[in-house]
Amino acid sequence: MAGWSPQGLLQMAFELINSTLFAIHLLVVNVASAAPIFCIYLERRASRSDDFANRLGIQIAKAAVGMLVLGSMLGLTIGLLGWLQGRTLYVEVLPRFSWKIFWGITEIFFSLICMGIYIAMWRRTVQERRRVFVHRTLAILAASNLLYHFPPLFGVMTYVAEHVNHFEDSISISVFRGLAYSQNAFPMTVHFFLATFSVSGIFVMARASVLKSNGEADEESRRSIYRGSARVALAATALQVIVGTWVLVSSDPWQQPPYSPRY
């Protein structure tokens, strides 16, 4: 059978590796994107002498940094594997987004810097309640920066790659924004946004479950954090039912692309 030839087996191995890496990539970038918001919740609890939340919060903040680095590396690896498999369509459209990709790289470093400063300020913010507004703003900037730039970018890139003949060699800012808020990309952006809070809520619960407890106060804090994180994850997951329907409707294969003229 052709499928069991050496070439066929190699192709299957590539597909398996690529699918596994992509699933891991999605999970880690979800955590990297929304975990900083959960850190604000934990920092607020820590400021009220909640030692368990204090220890958990700093762990989540550090995990967000590690997840962003890991997610970036996995993204590059997935792209390389796709190129080795001959999937050059996405590679070919990259030059059309050169300006956006350049800024995307700087945005990754910006989020890393924000979280690095956030972690460095953690102890003083919790213990002395100094520069609380700045501290929380750093977490919000780190999260919103990733959520604002990357889901729309990859949504638009996917659409352009699938309708490459409808666009010129360079995608202008106005065309990019039009596509980003069109039914072809925006539903997936909302879907990713909700997924980040679902996954991050579960991640916080998982980390809390393995963090050492030093007494009944820590156990009560653990239960309270479970409840808070579970509510966020459940609400985001419930909304995914509506958004998932929206995604399916907007991705109708028979729909006409809204940008039919060649720009």
pTM of the full structure: 0.85
With both helix axes pointing from N to C terminus, report the angle between 186-210 and 132-162 in degrees, rounded to the nearest 10.
130
Rounded to whole angstroms, the Cα distance separating 158 from 261 reads 18
In this prediction, residue 182 carries a pLDDT of 86
Which pLDDT score, from 0 to 100, does residue 7 have?
74
Taking the C-alpha atoms of residue 68 and residue 222, their distance in angstroms, rounded to an integer, is 26
Task: List, in order, residues 6 or more apart from 205 with CB less than 8 Å away.
Answer: 225, 226, 229, 230, 233
Q: What is the pLDDT of residue 253?
A: 52
Residue 132 is predicted with a pLDDT of 93
Residue of 199, 223, 200, 201 lying closest to 211 (CA atoms)? 223
DSSP collapsed to 3 states, the chain: CHHHCHHHHHHHHHHHHHHHHHHHHHHHHHHHHHHHHHHHHHHHHHCCCCHHHHHHHHHHHHHHHHHHHHHHHHHHHHHHHHHHCCCCHHHHHHHHHHHHHHHHHHHHHHHHHHHHHHHHHHHHHHHHCCCHHHHHHHHHHHHHHHHHHHHHHHHHHHHHHHCHHHCCCCCCHHHHHHHHCCCCCHHHHHHHHHHHHHHHHHHHHHHHHHCCCCCHHHHHHHHHHHHHHHHHHHHHHHHHHHHHHHHHHHCCCCCCCCCCCCC
pLDDT recorded at residue 255: 46
Domain boundaries, the chain: 15-250
Q: What is the pLDDT of residue 3?
A: 53
Q: What is the pLDDT of residues 137-174, one digit of tens each?
A: 999 999 999 999 888 888 888 888 777 667 767 787 88
pLDDT at residue number 147: 93
Question: Which residues of the chain, if any, have pLDDT below 70?
Answer: 1-3, 86-91, 164-165, 168, 251-263
